[in-house]
């Protein structure tokens, strides 16, 4: 119950920040363009809290925190008093309307830069991507990559950590051509450049893992089956298992790794098992029956409800990037630019059929990721907030009617031709755009449900 409450609260906070910043961008620029703002609302539905400033703008916090809006004076929506006609949005110049429409997405990009700046100012830590295993016959094997090598760069861009490596490889999803990978051999300064040949790479994979698709397993320290957390009212808790227990045997079978323990439990849904654990200097015998859960629609597996104590990484594999005040800002702008380009490229590839549409995510996935990132710490959540802010900015700039990009297109046409787009054309286009947006949202929600 507490996990669900945390997920809800973190998700609402994340969405509230994104919406407030986005709508403030529209609001701030509208006022400076001489357009009267009637209402600035965070959320939809019945107002929970509202107040009005000296300019007559009503500020609202509403009960459905799944969006927001800025309502401006507009003759197309309601009669406007003669003395206020000059402050109506529809009377603003095309350049002013473009600025107002673009201000929301730009505000989200500025938020992303600021958030990344905070993250980089704190320092970024990661783990060096060192090859533990290469699958025979895989792309990596064909390119001559061998165990023990460390990834240094992909296509000329440095990859000091797992995250950097995954992101750089993801940029090549759905593509043909060569990937140039620089690696350093173990215990030496020998650096080699290996070329991996791609063809429609990962275009039909639902949750692409580029390192795995290369045929590479990265090195991780051995994880022993030492229990760190026990889920309340789980089979493990009912059997008396405690945090700190080291699992030694299951039904008399020695277990030396966490993976061996997990695989054994998964094979025993609703079957009683006898587990031997080391607790301090004593060995304790426990009896438990794993719950039965479904993997997908029909494959059953066992579940006992415990979490593992993760080992520490060797110091030689830890990478920390430190940035000064200005350096953090430069890195933040670069990161925001790269992630914006990556998001736009992913949309393009999805439309071209080079990337599986099953990668499209909706509110449920956003909620889960927001909650899990918050559990990893404040800066992990900030990183997710920045990424979501970039996604919101890029999506809103798409030239789709009802989105900010659609309003920009209308104003551009008027600016170039000297004539506004016919109102009936705008009505039809907006209806079509609304249908498209709703369809995408339903499809994203459908993907979310399938992932559950």
Same domain, 157 and 181: yes
Annotated catalytic residues are 23
* Both structure tokens of 444: 């994203």
Same domain, 193 and 130: yes
Question: What is d(CA 382, CA 429) in angstroms, rounded to the nearest whole number?
Answer: 36
Question: What is d(CA 212, CA 365) in angstroms, rounded to the nearest whole number?
Answer: 22
Q: What is the CATH number of the domain that holds 239?
A: 2.30.42.10
Same domain, 214 and 281: no
Same domain, 317 and 199: yes
What phi, psi does 261 have (nearest 5°)?
Answer: -65, -45
What pLDDT is stored for residue 452 in this prediction?
55
- C-alpha pair distances (Å), 252 with each of 224, 248, 275, 276, 277: 17, 9, 8, 8, 11
What pLDDT is stored for residue 359 in this prediction?
67
Q: Say if residues 448 and 361 touch (Cβ distance below 8 Å).
A: yes
Domain-located, residue 272: yes
Domain-located, residue 147: yes
Half-sphere exposure of 26 (CA within 13 A, CB side): 29
Q: Which of 273, 295, 321 is the last residue of a domain?
A: 321
What pLDDT is stored for residue 298 in this prediction?
61
Q: Which of 254, 278, 308 is the last residue of a domain?
A: 308
* Burial class of residue 280, CB neighbours in 10 A (0-12, 13-18, 19+): exposed
Q: Say if residues 89 and 72 touch (Cβ distance below 8 Å).
A: yes
Domain-located, residue 354: no
Same domain, 169 and 252: no
Per-residue pLDDT of the chain (452 residues; tens, 9 = 90+): 556 777 778 888 888 888 899 999 999 999 999 999 999 998 888 888 889 998 889 999 887 777 788 999 988 888 888 888 889 898 899 999 999 999 999 999 999 999 999 999 988 888 889 999 999 998 888 988 888 889 999 998 898 988 888 888 888 887 778 889 999 988 778 888 888 888 877 766 767 788 888 888 998 888 888 999 998 889 999 999 999 999 999 999 998 888 888 999 999 999 999 999 999 889 999 999 999 887 655 678 889 999 888 888 888 888 888 889 999 999 999 999 999 998 888 888 777 776 666 666 666 666 666 777 776 778 888 888 998 899 999 999 999 888 899 999 999 999 999 898 888 888 898 888 888 888 877 876 666 566 55
CA dihedral sign, ordered 320, 323, 327, 329: positive
Contacts of 129 (CB under 8 A, 6+ apart): 150, 151, 159, 161, 162, 164, 165, 211, 218
Question: What is d(CA 287, CA 171) in angstroms, rounded to the nearest whole number?
Answer: 48
Q: Which of 280, 308, 336 is the last residue of a domain?
A: 308
Question: What is d(CA 170, CA 163) in angstroms, rounded to the nearest whole number?
Answer: 10
The parent domain of residue 171 ranges over: 124-221+312-321
- C-alpha pair distances (Å), 249 with each of 81, 252, 255, 258, 285: 82, 5, 5, 12, 9
Same domain, 214 and 316: yes
Domain-located, residue 93: no
Same domain, 132 and 216: yes
Same domain, 148 and 217: yes
Domain-located, residue 215: yes
Q: Say if residues 297 and 290 touch (Cβ distance below 8 Å).
A: no
What pLDDT is stored for residue 178 in this prediction?
87
3-class secondary structure, 308: strand
Q: Say if residues 183 and 218 touch (Cβ distance below 8 Å).
A: no
Same domain, 246 and 288: yes
Domain-located, residue 278: yes
Helix (H) or strand (E) holding 431: helix 423-451
Same domain, 159 and 239: no
Same domain, 142 and 262: no
Nearest CA among 350, 375, 342, 367 for reference residue 451 = 367
Question: What is d(CA 287, CA 280) in angstroms, rounded to the nearest whole number?
Answer: 19
Same domain, 192 and 317: yes
Instruction: Give the count of domains, the chain.
Output: 2
Domain-located, residue 146: yes
Domain-located, residue 275: yes
What pLDDT is stored for residue 203 in this prediction?
67
Nearest CA among 67, 62, 65, 37 for reference residue 50 = 62
3-class secondary structure, 195: strand
């Amino acid at each position: 119950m507490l996990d669900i409450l945390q997920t809800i609260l973190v998700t609402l906070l994340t969405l509230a920040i994104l919406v407030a910043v986005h709508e403030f961008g529209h609001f701030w620029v509208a006022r400076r363009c001489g357009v009267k703002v009637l209402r600035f609302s965070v959320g939809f539905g019945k107002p929970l809290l509202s107040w009005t400033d000296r300019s007559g703008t009503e500020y609202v916090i509403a009960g459905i925190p799944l969006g927001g809006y800025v309502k401006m004076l507009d003759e197309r929506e309601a009669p406007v008093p003669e003395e206020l006609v000059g402050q109506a949005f529809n009377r603003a110049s095309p350049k002013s309307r473009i600025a107002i429409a673009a201000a929301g997405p730009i505000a989200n990009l500025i938020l992303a830069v600021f958030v990344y700046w905070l993250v980089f100012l704190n320092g970024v830590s990661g783990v060096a991507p060192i090859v533990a295993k290469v699958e025979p016959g895989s792309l990596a094997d064909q390119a001559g990559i061998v165990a023990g090598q460390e990834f240094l760069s992909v296509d000329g861009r440095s990859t000091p950590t797992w995250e950097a490596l995954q992101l750089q490889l993801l940029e090549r999803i759905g593509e043909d051509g060569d990937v140039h990978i620089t690696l350093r051999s173990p215990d030496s300064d020998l650096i080699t450049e290996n070329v991996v040949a791609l063809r429609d790479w990962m275009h039909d994979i639902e949750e692409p893992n580029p390192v795995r698709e290369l045929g590479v397993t990265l090195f991780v320290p051995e994880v022993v089956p030492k229990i760190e957390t026990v889920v309340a009212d789980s089979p493990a808790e009912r059997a008396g298992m405690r945090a700190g227990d080291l699992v030694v045997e299951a039904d008399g079978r020695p277990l030396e790794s966490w993976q061996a323990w997990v695989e054994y439990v998964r094979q025993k849904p609703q079957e009683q098992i006898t587990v031997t654990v080391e607790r301090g200097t004593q060995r304790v015998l426990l009896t438990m029956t794993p719950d039965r859960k479904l993997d997908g629609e029909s494959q059953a597996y066992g579940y006992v409800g415990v979490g593992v104590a993760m080992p520490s990484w060797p110091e030689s594999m830890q990478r920390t990037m430190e940035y000064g005040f200005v350096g953090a800002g430069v890195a933040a702008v670069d990161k925001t630019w790269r992630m914006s380009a990556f998001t736009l490229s992913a949309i393009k590839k999805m439309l071209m059929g080079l990337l599986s549409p099953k990668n499209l995510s909706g509110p449920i996935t956003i909620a889960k990721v927001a909650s899990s990132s918050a559990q990893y710490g404040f800066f992990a959540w900030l990183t997710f907030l920045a990424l979501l802010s970039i996604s919101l900015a890029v999506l809103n700039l798409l030239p789709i009617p009802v989105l900010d990009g659609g309003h920009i297109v209308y104003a551009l046409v008027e600016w170039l031709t000297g004539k506004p787009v016919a109102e009936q054309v705008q009505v039809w286009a907006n209806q079509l755009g609304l249908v498209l947006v709703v369809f995408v949202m339903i499809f994203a929600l459908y993907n979310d449900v399938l992932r559950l």
